[in-house]
Amino acid sequence: MAGSVGCPAIAIAAPASGQGKTTVTAALARLHARQGRRVRVFKCGPDFLDPCWHQLASGAPVHQIDLWMTGEADIAQRLHAAAREADLILIEGVMGLFDGAPSLADLAQRFGLPVLAVVDASAMGATLGAVVHGLRHYRAGLPWAGVLANRVATERHADLLRAGLNDPADWMGALPRVQRDAHDGAMATPAASTRARAGLLPERHLGLVAAHELADGLARLDAAADALAATPLGRLQPHELQRWAVRFAAPERPEPVPPLLEGRTVAVADDAAFCFIYRANLDTLEALGARVVRFSPLADAALPPCDAVWLPGGYPELHADRIAGHTGMQASLRAHVQAGRAVWAECGGMMALFESITLADGQHRPLWGLLPGRVAMQKRLAALGPQQLDVDGHVLRGHTFHYSTCDSPAPVRGRTERPAHAGPPGPGEALYRHGSIHASYFHAWFPSSPRAVAALLGADPDAPRGAA
């Protein structure tokens, strides 16, 4: 194929969530990166937290790819670009191999990506063979790499698992079972060694704890890489990885992004409370012509000079006291809004704008009070799934994922919709409009509609091309 580029690539899948895909992907990236190879990692589907670990492991930016949210053309462009500079491409799946529409299996078949299945084998023996047979043959023509058994108790247990496989070539090894350490929540083998305890990627209600929040994050990845290095998968040499080489066709040239934010500065909140940021979203702001500056609502005295503010999602509920107590930032945001300058607040960013929050333990805390209403944390997931939002006739794609609910009298400018492939229509997320504030639980993937993004940030989305 003219213009195509080849590179070893593996799609890392599982029969279900919680099998260990993220740890294995990050461990494999870390193992090869510390041996001097250029590794590029992608996350299938919407996710802010797993990519933090993959970026730490690989030392390179991590992007999302999803046949619906990001689209086939964008995926083709990103994989081709990665193949031109990488020695190995890893794609971590989402949920189970065939879960979702489109699924990781759909992505693997479309781009010819060999699938490595990670299976939690802690409570099975030879039945692993049946699970692997089903994953491999459920859909004809699925590219295949093999299976890595996770959470295996002993070498004898590993032997039983391996013996159950129909094709011995499927065996990529076994990773040991680990236990949670009651003292620090980290992982511990029966020997409870320091390096073993460093291996767990800890979780909380929205998923993994972000890598930047743990001082020993790299040590945890090194411990996981060390364990993987003892497996057949981890012992593969560069020339052996060529068995999984994929040819990535040269993509079509994308449509240029109109410079609708040229000459404007967009301030992006980025700290422990507001950290759910797609790298591609920042790239889109810059492609629109914006000057992007980051700031910390928790630490900075005031907003930087700017024309618009983006408050992304994150964990305002974990920092409610600091948010409420930082009156300087509150006053700065209020002055920004009173001057008619745009604010786009999504999910956690919107939560912080409300008047108050009720935490999961029932305690009440004040917030910034720039958006009328209040928010309350729930013990169960309140909403999850792909969504799309029409803004002035321009449709943004993205998703929703939150453990809180809100009650606001603010005008509802519109609502998100569930795409047809995601099931029957249901109540979408409200898009609130209050003065110059637009706010919603919706997490937007900016490249899907740069014009819609420009509108949310105060520009005319239908300005002639080339107009600022």
Q: Has residue 256 been placed in a domain?
A: no
Q: Is residue 27 part of a domain?
A: yes
Tell me, yes or no, whether 201 and 272 share the same domain: no
- Domain end, chosen from 248, 282, 298, is at 248
239 and 308 within one domain: no
Q: Are residues 177 and 91 in the same domain?
A: yes
DSSP state of 62: -
Tell me: do 280 and 230 sit in the same domain.
no
What's the pLDDT score for residue 195?
31
Considering the domain architecture, whether residues 329 and 441 belong to the same structural domain is answered as yes
468 domain residue, yes or no: no
Q: Residue 136: helix, strand or coil by DSSP?
A: helix
- The pLDDT assigned to 427 comes to 73
Residue 464 lies in a domain: no
Annotated catalytic residues are 347
Residues 293 and 360 in one domain: yes
Token code pair at residue 179:
């236990």
Residue showing tokens 């919706």: 442
pLDDT recorded at residue 254? 85
| Residue of 233, 250, 279 whose CA lies nearest to 47 | 279
> Residue 234 is part of which domain span?
5-248
Q: Are residues 287 and 318 in the same domain?
A: yes
Residues 204 and 273 in one domain: no
Instruction: Print burial letters for 239-251: b (CB count within 10 Å at least 16), e (below 16).
Output: eebeebebebeeb
DSSP tag of 410: S
| CATH code for the domain of 450 | 3.40.50.880
Residues 341, 308: contact at Cβ < 8 Å?
Answer: yes
Instruction: At 248, list the tokens.
Output: 């990535």
In a domain, 309, yes or no: yes
Q: In terms of domains, do 213 and 336 share one?
A: no
Identify whether 257 is part of a domain.
no
> Is there a domain that residue 400 lies in?
yes
Residues 6+ apart with CB under 8 A from 193: none
Residue at a domain's end among 220, 248, 276: 248
Q: Which H or E run includes 148?
A: strand 144-152
Domain count, the chain: 2
Query: Which position has the token pair 């912080």?
Result: 352
Sequence-distant (≥ 6) Cβ neighbours of residue 330 within 8 angstroms: 368, 369, 370
Q: Are 30 and 221 spatial neighbours (Cβ–Cβ below 8 Å)?
A: yes
Find out whether 265 and 307 touch, Cβ atoms under 8 Å.
yes
Residue 161 belongs to a domain: yes
Task: Tell whether 181 and 312 lie within a shared domain.
Answer: no
Considering 248, 281, 302, which residue would you say is the last residue of a domain?
Answer: 248
209 in the same domain as 82:
yes
User: Pairing state of beta strands 115-120 and 5-13?
Assistant: parallel
User: What is residue 202's predicted lDDT score, i.e. its pLDDT?
Assistant: 57
26 and 120 in a common domain: yes
Per-residue pLDDT for the chain (468 aa), expressed as one digit of tens each?
568 999 999 999 999 999 999 999 999 999 999 999 999 999 999 888 889 999 999 999 999 999 999 999 999 999 999 999 999 999 999 999 999 889 999 999 999 999 999 999 999 999 999 999 999 999 999 999 999 999 999 999 999 999 999 999 999 999 998 654 333 333 322 222 333 333 356 554 445 555 555 667 889 899 999 999 999 999 999 999 999 999 999 998 888 999 999 999 999 999 999 999 999 999 999 999 999 999 999 999 999 999 999 999 999 999 999 999 999 999 999 999 999 999 999 999 999 999 999 999 999 999 999 999 999 999 898 888 999 999 999 999 999 999 999 999 999 999 999 988 766 666 799 999 999 999 999 999 999 999 999 999 999 998 765 444
User: Sign of the C-alpha dihedral, residues 60, 444, 111, 118?
Assistant: positive
CATH of the domain at 15: 3.40.50.300
